[in-house]
Amino acid sequence: MTGLRGPAIFLAQFLGSEPPFDTLDGLAQWAAGLGYVGVQIPCTSQLIDLSLAAESKTYCEDLSGRLAAHGIAITELSTHLQGQLVAVHPAYDALFDGFAPPELHGKPAERQQWAVEQVKLAARASANLGLSAHATFSGALAWPYVYPWPQRPAGLIEEAFAELARRWTPILDVFAEAGVDCAFEVHPGEDLHDGASWERFLAAVDNHPRARLLFDPSHFVLQQLDYLDFIDRYHDRISCFHVKDAEFNPTGRSGVYGGYESWVDRAGRFRSLGDGQVDFSAIFSKMAQYGFAGWAVLEWECALKRAEDGAREGAPFIRDHIIRLTERPFDDFAASGIDRASIRAILGLAEDRA
């Protein structure tokens, strides 16, 4: 039976200017040496020529072949930064300019058009790479109004999600043409940050079949959401899985909102795998229960531990949590193997009449 695959690692947090972190081949060899068998690749020009990948299967075959030589598969591409720029509230314009090329800084309309094209290219590139899912962010128009004070005017949130849907529906249609799922990471700072906002978006895009979810339990811990119930509710829409840990230790001084503290001093903070409070045994059991056949991808973010140490510990942690699905019931040894006539007799039913 097909089951969850891994361990894999998201490369975004490890990309750098020094070997082996400065090239895709270097990162692949490094990841393989730690025990990973897959990598999730952020769509940055340092790692992939997105335009070429979108039009050339030959380029994609060469890219996949180079990684396969290291024993590494590509799990998904990621446009988290580009997806963020599909929808940006003006309050965040200056901060998010850094996600776009310098020539687009200070030009929000042009920046948004660039971001849309980038995500569409990623859909086509994913298809050429033989991938089934893609990881991204939704962006946010309503996030400055997440807390209802001052009182939100009637229709504000509805219009924000209607506009979000207008921007994303044509992109989702490209994913549909490519045969690839577009998996939105539910994440604070995005308009899609919990189950309620996901349902609102899904309704706005008319339940688009390629609108999917990237499940990352760490963001649920920081919001104090039930991540196991989330899997129960939305498992049929989960296409990607980030394995990331977190902890939440509120005091009388600080809680969910963090008090503008640094990551180290916040009540909720990200941790390396096994150092936080996420019940990964329960999560992997849920994934097995619902037959999730995607990748378990480490996303390393920790307020305390060195990145290299977190990456080294992550591969065996994920490998030890993956549940190999059984191919027969555990009590199969006790099967009686009787026929239908015997079954009817057991039930006290008369034999079928000819």
Q: How far is CA 45 from the centre of its chain?
A: 21
Tell me what pLDDT residue 342 has: 87
Residue with tokens 């089951």: 3
Picking from 63, 80, 92, 181, the residue whose alpha carbon sits closest to that of residue 131 is 181
Partners of residue 245 on adjacent β-strands = 271
Number of H helices, E strands in the chain: 13, 10
Tell me what pLDDT residue 330 has: 61
Partners of residue 270 on adjacent β-strands = 246
Tell me what pLDDT residue 3 has: 87
Q: Averaged in consecutive runs of 10 residues, what is the pLDDT profile of the chain (354 residues)?
A: 88 97 98 98 98 98 98 98 98 97 98 98 98 98 97 98 98 98 98 98 98 98 98 98 98 97 97 98 97 97 97 98 80 71 88 58
Q: Are the C-beta atoms of 42 and 81 separated by less than 8 Å? A: yes
324 Cβ contact partners less than 8 Å away, ≥ 6 residues apart = 3
Q: Are the C-beta atoms of 226 and 282 separated by less than 8 Å? A: no
Picking from 214, 215, 240, 242, the residue whose alpha carbon sits closest to that of residue 228 is 215
Residue 342 burial (CB < 10 Å; 0-12/13-18/19+)?
exposed
Cα four-point dihedral sign 132, 135, 140, 146: positive
Residue 262 burial (CB < 10 Å; 0-12/13-18/19+)?
exposed
A 10 A CB-CB count for 341 gives 11
CA dist 263 and 244 (Å) reads 15
Query: What long-range pairs does 306-315 form, CB within 8 A, spacing at least 24?
Result: 307/13, 307/14, 309/272, 310/272, 310/273, 311/9, 311/14, 311/31, 311/34, 312/34, 313/272, 313/273, 313/274, 314/7, 314/9, 314/34, 314/243, 314/272, 314/273, 315/7, 315/9, 315/34, 315/35, 315/36
Percent composition of the chain: helix, strand, coil (DSSP 3-state, to 5)? 45, 15, 40
Q: Is 246 helix (H, G, I), strand (E, B) or coil?
A: strand
Domains of the chain and CATH, by start: 5-328 (3.20.20.150)
Residue type, 270: F
CA dist 26 and 214 (Å) reads 27
Q: Give the pTM.
A: 0.94
CA dist 214 and 230 (Å) reads 12
